[in-house]
Structure 1
Amino acid sequence: MSEEELIDNTEQGRFELHRDEHLVGWLYYTRLRPNRYALRHTEVEAGHQHQGVASAMIRRVFDEIRTREGTVTAICPFVADFVSRTSTYDDLIDPRHPGYPDRATAEAAQRKTTS
């Protein structure tokens, strides 16, 4: 099994997942007060797609935010889809600013803002 490390690259505003010292994916966020993370966009290196990188990264990010006693607002369609399929991280979803409930709603909102 490969060695994974999650790095919070605050300069670029993203969590980065490294496997065997190679950057394989990242999740852009905006940190809002008091301790809320708006998870905005997930990307996976082309050579690592369809290998569970995004899901592994989101689990690691949620676990990290939990240790920081933070909350999450799901903006990214992939994050919204992940959250809609599990109750494991329900306690992290910000009750006042939950973000989007599922992938379709998040994608529709993105299309609306880019058109």
Structure 2
Amino acid sequence: MSDEKQVPVDEQLIDNVDLGRFELYRDDDLVGWLYCTHLKPNRYALRHTEVESSHQHQGVGGALVRQVLDEIRSREGTITAICPFVVDYLSRTTTYADLVDPRHPGYSDRAAAESAQANAGG
């Protein structure tokens, strides 16, 4: 058993409107971001998630998506899931099912999202 204690990290989500993305900071370091497009009336197309290479496999992606979804819920918004990582995250929980825009839900599974990205050259 390890004697290492988990040190709590200070996380902050920033809506960087100028860059069109939500950014997750841990202890003042930018560790991940999720590109989105804010559509009318209050829908967010979640397009692409990235995690700094030095912070991969540390739960950053999941924490980022969870916080973005919580923020969109607080704004009474809806989402269109385009990013394969977001689609996969949503497929593993029903917690955010109410946020998915019924008219423009995006992709229903990760394979469909990845295939669409590959076909679009992204």
- The answer to whether the aligner puts 1:78 opposite 2:85 as a matched pair is yes
* Alpha-carbon separation, structure 2, partners of 1:6 and 1:114: 29
Within the alignment, does 1:67 sit opposite 2:67 as a pair?
A: no
Q: 1:40 aligns with which of 41, 47, 51?
A: 47
Large movers: runs of 4+ above 4 Å = none
Structure 1 Cα separation of the partners of residues 20 and 49 of structure 2: 12
After TM superposition, give the deviation of residue 113 of structure 1 in Å: 1.2
Using the alignment, how far apart are the partners of 1:38 and 1:83 within structure 2?
A: 14
2:30 is the counterpart of 1:20? no
Task: Report the alpha carbon displacement of residue 60 of structure 1 after superposing the two structures with TM.
Answer: 0.2
Q: Give yes or no for the alignment of 1:89 onto 2:93.
A: no
Pairwise CA distance, 1:96: 0.3
Query: What SS does the aligned partner of 2:24 have?
Result: strand
Partner of 1:98: 105
Q: 2:18 aligns with which of 11, 15, 36?
A: 11
TM-score computed with the length of structure 2 as normaliser: 0.93
Structure 2 CA distance for aligned equivalents of residues 15 and 79 of structure 1: 13
Match of 2:4 in 1: none
Structure 1 counterpart of 2:57: 50
* Counterparts of 1:31 and 1:101, CA distance in 2: 20
Per-residue deviation, 1:82: 0.4
Deviations 1:23-44 (A, max 9, x none): 0000000000000000000000
How many equivalent residue pairs? 115
**Structure 1: runs of 5+ lacking an equivalent:** none
Identical amino acids, percent of aligned pairs: 68
Counterpart CA distance in 2 for 1:102 and 1:79 is: 10
Q: Provide the rounded CA distance (Å) in 2 between the counterparts of 1:53 and 1:7.
A: 14
